[in-house]
Structure 1
Amino acid sequence: MRDNSSDYRDIFLNDRPMMDARAPVEFNKGAFPGVLNLPLMDDSERQRVGTCYKQQGQDAAISLGHQLVSGQIKAARIDAWLRFAKANPQGYLYCFRGGLRSQITQQWLAEAGIDYPRVIGGYKAMRSFLLETTQQAVAECDFVILGGLTGTGKTDVLAQLGNSLDLEGHANHRGSSFGKRATGQPAQIDFENRLAIDILKQRARQTRQFIVEDEGRTVGSCTLPLELYQGMQSHPLVWLDDPFESRVERILRDYVTNLCAEFISLHGEEDGFRLFSERLLQSLSNILKRLGGERYQRLQAIMQAALEEQQRSGSIDLHRGWVEGLLREYYDPMYAYQRESKGARIEFIGEQAEVIAYLKARQAQR
């Protein structure tokens, strides 16, 4: 049998397969990328055992647990664990603290013929390790913030750099009021874990300077780690410029063509287009107060007509009307104010190729 492990760095750097023996309710609150939830107890069983523990103590709770997970239920769970262990011989199992649940799982696997290692300290220790990974990076590394008006292609720039942290990618959200994707966002803990693992892997490649997009404290429903967000308020800023027409086309690609395709891929042609249309209209409605009633009504009418034409003919040309209106009347004035307030921190301004070249040269100097 391979040894039980507390080498969390190795586990995350090498994407070791892991099976999570916690109950689904715990798993859904937060887990690690690629981990499979194969619980020792389901939610109901865990709740009953927890109540028994509080009222009658550990021995009674353990006894109840063995009663609840027995016979065919026990056999089915062991069978699922065995399949995982055989398919992932380099993996590990864990529970919340690396205690009783993972030890019982490990014992039952051994009785079924497979010795399988567990993570010492369990989920809690691995989670603490990842939180510390982010905190250490903020304290020890340089950060450069990439800013720019809406639609300038900041995400496209990040994708061409080997030292970027794509906060919107980890949050599965494009960052603006229209940024919700068809596939939804990860839980907050999942977002933090993904970000920390990205940082860990990059630092293992000797990255000492990170590029992140200029974001608010939240990216959709995901909140940036406080220490990272606070640092972003003082780090140097590189500003990405792009012609207005290019920005409009990029927004059409991301928020109309691609988003519509996402919904249709998930829900089929008819329901997908309906849900896409509802999403666009709701996104506009979400900024009604900031737009003002007259401007909202005007842009909403243009959007509605554009959606009807898109559904009828497939053409997205009419969408340019509300995109151009939103940029000129809402987003650009807001970002112009932000740029002015951050002007002293801007160390370079350029279009995409120039910004990429500058940031690569800056990284090479580290």
Structure 2
Amino acid sequence: MNPKDLGKHLPLIDDLHSLFLSDRPLLDVRAPVEFLEGAFPNAVNHPLMDDADREAIGTCYKQQGQDAAIALGMQRVSGDIKDARVAAWAAFAREHPDGVLYCFRGGLRSRISQQLLYEYTGIEYPRVEGGYKQMRQFLREQLDSLPNRLQPIILSGRTGSGKTRFLQTITQMIDLEGTANHRGSAFGSQAQRQPTQIQFENTLSIALLRKVSQEQTTLLFEDESRSIGSVHLPETFFKRLSEAPVILMQVPDEERVEISYQEYVLDNLQAFITLHNGDEATGFAAFSAYLLGSLDKIQRRLGGVRYQQVRQTMQAALAHQERTGQTEGHYDVVRLILLDYYDPMYDYQISKKQDRLVFTGSPAEVRDYLNAQGIQ
């Protein structure tokens, strides 16, 4: 197998703009460790080489050159191992005939994978020129340029106002917290882990690309700080949002308590149980650790006395829940944190945005205002 001849007659994709807009399925043949560091939202990893193969062949390449590395690769990826990997590609290609494959640089790994798939099955599956590296660079460039074409509007409101729920009823929006898999506060962690920074940026860039291509440049975003949990908004994008007009959505305190109880207690509890395959005891233990760990994050801001008060109330609610299965005891915790901690902090933050505040009203009034601005 001459590396220079691999894939010469097989299809090549170089229009990345169309590739991401068309939502084509992506077959990523990089090693699992590479995929975990950064991937695209529509990609599935079926590697040519596993992590151990990649490390061994990479070392061989550095020490002995390309020919020796190729020989070692053919030795390690052979027989039943090769058959199984080609079978995985073939199954993906048959399920997704409109898909494409790629490796890191669009070089030897993707050409070998493409060639083997063709030789075993006759399927001429396209590969991406430049591979993941070129795709990633393209999306980074979009993150730098596309924000300047936006006319963002920021939806603000106290914690528990149901901003995310409201946002999801709007077509012209991007859900940053959904993309980050985090609610953007000390208690904002979800049962599932957050994406890596690279994954977050890739997903955000594709979302922006699609909105702009649909001529949806006036977009609604929830009010966020630069960081959303462990990920952060790219500088150009965050700067554009920080200059945008702000809408303040007002919701009565008791309604906010009810929304927060639903989202932070009931929804999170169920998410942890689901994550642990329906095991209620294990899910409850993880949920308890989430609540107490989140509270510890704001210990200094609460102050010693208030922190102990909230922690004792939370522990009592958890103990009652463990004994009886009832969750109503968490209402007291929600009220304490929402009204005594989050509200003063929010009031301070919104006071610094008064010069950008263009409208204040109830959810229904906010919707009417947005519709008047042409946002559906």
TM-score normalised by L of structure 2: 0.93
| Residues 237-252 of structure 1 aligned to structure 2 (within 5 Å) | 237-252=246-261
The code of the aligned residue for 2:261 comes to L
* Residue number in structure 2 paired with 1:36: 44
TM-score normalised by L of structure 1: 0.96
| 1:364 Cα deviation from its structure 2 partner | 5.1
> Which of 312, 316, 327 is the equivalent residue of 1:316?
327
CA contact (8 A) 1:161 1:360 kept: no
> Which of 182, 197, 202 is the equivalent residue of 2:211?
202
> Which of 72, 76, 86 is the equivalent residue of 1:64?
72
Give % identity: 50
1:146 correspondence with 2:155: yes
| Residues 272-287 of structure 1 aligned to structure 2 (within 5 Å) | 272-287=283-298
> Which of 134, 139, 145 is the equivalent residue of 1:130?
139
Q: What is the alpha-carbon distance in structure 1 between the residues aligned to residue 256 and residue 359 of structure 2?
A: 20
Q: What is the alpha-carbon distance in structure 2 between the residues aligned to residue 83 and residue 364 of structure 1?
A: 42
Output one character per residue of 1:128-180: Cα deviation in whole Å (capped at 9) or x when no partner. 22222232221111111111111111101211111111100001111110011
Q: What is the alpha-carbon distance in structure 2 between the residues aligned to residue 85 and residue 255 of structure 1?
A: 41
CA contact (8 A) 2:175 2:222 kept: yes
Q: What is the alpha-carbon distance in structure 1 between the residues aligned to residue 369 and residue 10 of structure 2?
A: 47
CA contact (8 A) 2:219 2:375 kept: no
Q: What is the alpha-carbon distance in structure 1 between the residues aligned to residue 137 and residue 117 of structure 2?
A: 28
1:329 correspondence with 2:337: no
The code of the aligned residue for 1:293 comes to G
Report how many residues are paired.
365
The code of the aligned residue for 1:170 comes to T
* Residue number in structure 2 paired with 1:339: 350
Q: What is the alpha-carbon distance in structure 2 between the residues aligned to residue 20 and residue 223 of structure 1?
A: 25
* Residue number in structure 1 paired with 2:60: 52
Provide the secondary structure at the position in 2 that maps to 1:161.
coil
The code of the aligned residue for 2:318 comes to L
Q: What is the alpha-carbon distance in structure 1 between the residues aligned to residue 105 and residue 81 of structure 2?
A: 24
The code of the aligned residue for 2:135 comes to M
The farther-off stretch of 286-295 and 356-365 is 356-365
Q: What is the alpha-carbon distance in structure 2 between the residues aligned to residue 231 and residue 13 of structure 1?
A: 23
Q: What is the alpha-carbon distance in structure 2 between the residues aligned to residue 361 and residue 197 of structure 1?
A: 28
* Residue number in structure 1 paired with 2:25: 17
The code of the aligned residue for 1:139 comes to N
CA contact (8 A) 2:31 2:48 kept: yes
1:170 correspondence with 2:183: no
CA contact (8 A) 1:147 1:154 kept: yes
* Residue number in structure 1 paired with 2:4: none
| 1:317 Cα deviation from its structure 2 partner | 2.6
The code of the aligned residue for 1:45 comes to D
1:296 correspondence with 2:304: no
Q: What is the alpha-carbon distance in structure 1 between the residues aligned to residue 224 and residue 206 of structure 2?
A: 20
Q: What is the alpha-carbon distance in structure 2 between the residues aligned to residue 311 and residue 360 of structure 1?
A: 46
Q: 1:46 to 1:133 in 2, by over 3 A?
A: same
Provide the secondary structure at the position in 1 that maps to 2:105.
coil
| 1:3 Cα deviation from its structure 2 partner | 3.2
CA contact (8 A) 1:160 1:356 kept: no
